[in-house]
């Protein structure tokens, strides 16, 4: 009973799009592959949702940012899937999985059978209720994970021009949305518990550059506290945010970016999980040899660090997806995934890239009052991480290369003096 496919990709996000392209490059028969997605659009480049999609002028809209344009590859429109005989089962949530029977059951009651499954269910936005704050279902409280959220956010922003927004969370989503809100002429107060923004990656010195830049654009920061409740008007809309320290902030809208959680629940108790994700080996294969996991949901061995990591970044989603397909289609020619972690962000006129690991001693370099500066992380005598703001293509390539090489650093002062020149000289 049900429909049969050789390959099924569960989830229709970034990883799914790149996996589909890799399958088609390697040659699959029509009708072999199906992608099941809760979203009702074909896979797209999710980072666009907090960038171009939110611009007040000339915003990015589908089909312009379907995968795989983010890696300068073909843009896979719904027509492309049709032409390649790849079934897109959209607007469909899988509600249970049976790894022994190799079946998935959709919310509509359909059974889909696979020979090989790729789990690409990504992550979901953490809700305020999960940290003990109620009321996030009010119409002017926004999250941002998928296209539906982004469409809603745009409409809420349009109704708040000239008003006040409270952004809760100082990570990627909070920072990128705060910038977009300012561009949309909305006053922004950012609230987060840490001592500085992007605290899992940035050093205080790096963070202070971005906070100062944001302040120059009008953003206010309230740090070291969290949102504790909302004040609502008679229609249920939030009109003020109350912080744990008692501060009351009038708000026409609230943007929540407090973190995410990997979508693993369908497989809990059926597959091995570690570090919050589904454990895979260097071939992206789970504890069940017919099942692979890629993207945000996968906990994979990072050879360079000699440990397991789960990364929620687009480059890792793209590359892990391609690697899984290579391992499936050409098992003898595919070694272990050898990934250099890479994160980036762009806001206002700023743009930074980070490679590697942010552990050990930090060496800052460059002009922190200007727009070209960076940092290296040195652990156990070796360079293990590199950050650069405002770099050129060659400079970014150079910091990626040097981070992968992990050179021994004899003289810290020289690194500081040479700055990005050190990477360019390696
Ligand atoms: P992704 O989340 O893309 O896709 C998962 C898919 O699975 C979704 O379509 C979901 O609906 C579907 N799904 C889940 N459960 C399902 C079920 N039970 N049944 C059916 N379908 C199901 N990274 C970066 O490096 N730089 C950046 O600038 C940004 N910017 C950025 C902005 C925003 C707004 C977000 C939300 C995220 C980013 N990221 C980022 C992170 C990046 O987008 C993320 O790492 C990738 O999208 C992960 O790709 P996946 O395919 O793993 O999940």
What is the three-state SS of 219-265? CEEEECCCEEEEEECCCCCEEEEEECCCCEEECCEEEECCCEEECCH
Say yes or no: CB of residue 47 within 6 Å of ligand 1: yes
- Other residues' Cβ atoms within 10 Å of the Cβ of residue 301: 18
The two three-digit tokens of residue 37, written as one number: 């997605």
Cβ atoms of 259 and 249 within 8 Å: the answer is no
- 160 CB contacts (<8 Å, ≥6 apart)? 140, 186, 252, 253
Say yes or no: CB of residue 313 within 6 Å of ligand 1: yes
pLDDT score of 1: 73
Distance CA 199, CA 193 (A): 10
Cβ atoms of 307 and 339 within 8 Å: the answer is no
Distance CA 320, CA 285 (A): 11
Q: Whose CA is nearest to atom 22 of ligand 1?
A: 11
pLDDT score of 371: 74
Which atom belonging to ligand 1 lies closest to the Cα atom of 346? 28
Rounded distance from Cα 416 to ligand 1 centre (Å): 37
Distance CA 371, CA 393 (A): 15
The two three-digit tokens of residue 179, written as one number: 């910038």
Low-confidence ranges of the chain (pLDDT < 70): none
Q: Whose CA is nearest to atom 45 of ligand 1?
A: 313
Which atom belonging to ligand 1 lies closest to the Cα atom of 315? 25
Say yes or no: CB of residue 13 within 6 Å of ligand 1: yes
Say yes or no: CB of residue 14 within 6 Å of ligand 1: yes
DSSP 127: P
Whole-Å CA distances, 66 to 49, 69, 70, 80, 115: 12, 7, 8, 11, 27
Q: Whose CA is nearest to atom 41 of ligand 1?
A: 313
pLDDT score of 369: 87
Look at the chain and count its residues. Answer: 426
pLDDT score of 161: 97
Coil/strand/helix, residue 39 = coil
pLDDT score of 373: 96
Q: Whose CA is nearest to atom 29 of ligand 1?
A: 47
**How far out from the chain centre does Cα 85 lie?**
29
pLDDT score of 263: 98
Q: 65-86 burial string, b = 16+ CB within 10 Å, else e? A: bbbbbbbeeebbeeebbeeeeb
Summarised one tens digit per residue, pLDDT across range 327-359 is 999 999 999 999 999 999 999 999 999 999 999
pLDDT score of 372: 84
Most ligand 1 atoms within 8 A of CB, residue of 8, 11, 96 to mutate? 11
Distance CA 290, CA 272 (A): 14
Place of tokens 């249920």: 236
Rounded distance from Cα 296 to ligand 1 centre (Å): 7
Most ligand 1 atoms within 8 A of CB, residue of 18, 35, 47, 280 to mutate? 47
């Amino acid at each position: 009973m049900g429909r049969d496919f050789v390959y099924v990709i569960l989830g229709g996000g970034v990883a799914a799009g790149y996996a589909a392209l890799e399958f088609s490059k390697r040659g699959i028969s029509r009708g072999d592959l199906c992608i099941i997605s809760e979203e009702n659009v074909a896979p797209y480049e999710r980072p666009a949702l907090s960038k171009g999609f939110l611009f007040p002028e000339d915003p990015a809209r589908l089909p312009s940012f379907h995968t795989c344009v983010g890696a300068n590859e073909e843009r896979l429109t719904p027509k492309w899937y049709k032409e390649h005989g790849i079934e897109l089962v959209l607007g469909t949530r899988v509600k249970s999985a049976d790894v022994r029977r190799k079946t998935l059951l959709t919310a509509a009651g359909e059974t889909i059978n696979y020979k090989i499954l790729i789990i690409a269910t990504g992550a979901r936005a953490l809700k305020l209720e999960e940290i003990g704050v109620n009321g996030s279902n009010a119409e002017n409280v926004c999250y941002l994970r998928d296209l539906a959220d982004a469409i809603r956010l745009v409409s809420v922003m349009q109704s708040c021009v000239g008003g006040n927004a409270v952004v809760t969370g100082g990570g990627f989503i909070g920072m990128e949305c705060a910038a977009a809100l300012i561009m949309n002429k909305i006053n922004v107060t950012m609230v987060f518990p840490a001592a500085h923004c992007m605290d899992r990656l940035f050093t205080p010195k790096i963070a202070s550059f971005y906070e100062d830049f944001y302040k120059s654009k009008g953003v206010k920061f309230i740090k070291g506290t969290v949102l504790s409740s909302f004040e609502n008007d008679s229609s249920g809309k939030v009109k003020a945010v109350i912080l744990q320290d008692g501060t009351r902030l009038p708000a026409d809208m609230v943007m929540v970016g407090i973190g995410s959680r990997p979508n693993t629940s369908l497989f809990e108790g059926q597959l091995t999980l570690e570090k919050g994700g589904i454990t895979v080996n260097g071939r992206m294969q789970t504890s069940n040899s017919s099942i692979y996991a890629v993207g945000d949901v996968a906990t994979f061995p990072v050879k360079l660090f000699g440990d397991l990591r789960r990364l929620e970044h687009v480059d890792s989603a793209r590359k892990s997806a391609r690697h899984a397909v290579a391992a499936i289609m050409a098992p003898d020619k595919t070694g272990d995934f050898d990934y250099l972690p890479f994160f980036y962000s762009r806001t206002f006129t700023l743009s930074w890239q980070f490679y590697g690991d942010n552990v050990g001693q930090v060496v800052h370099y460059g002009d922190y009052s200007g727009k070209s500066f960076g940092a290296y992380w040195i652990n156990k005598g070796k360079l293990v991480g590199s950050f650069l703001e405002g770099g050129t293509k060659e400079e970014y390539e150079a910091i990626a290369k040097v981070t992968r090489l992990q050179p021994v650093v004899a003289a810290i002062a020289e690194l500081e003096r040479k700055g990005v020149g050190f990477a360019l000289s390696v």
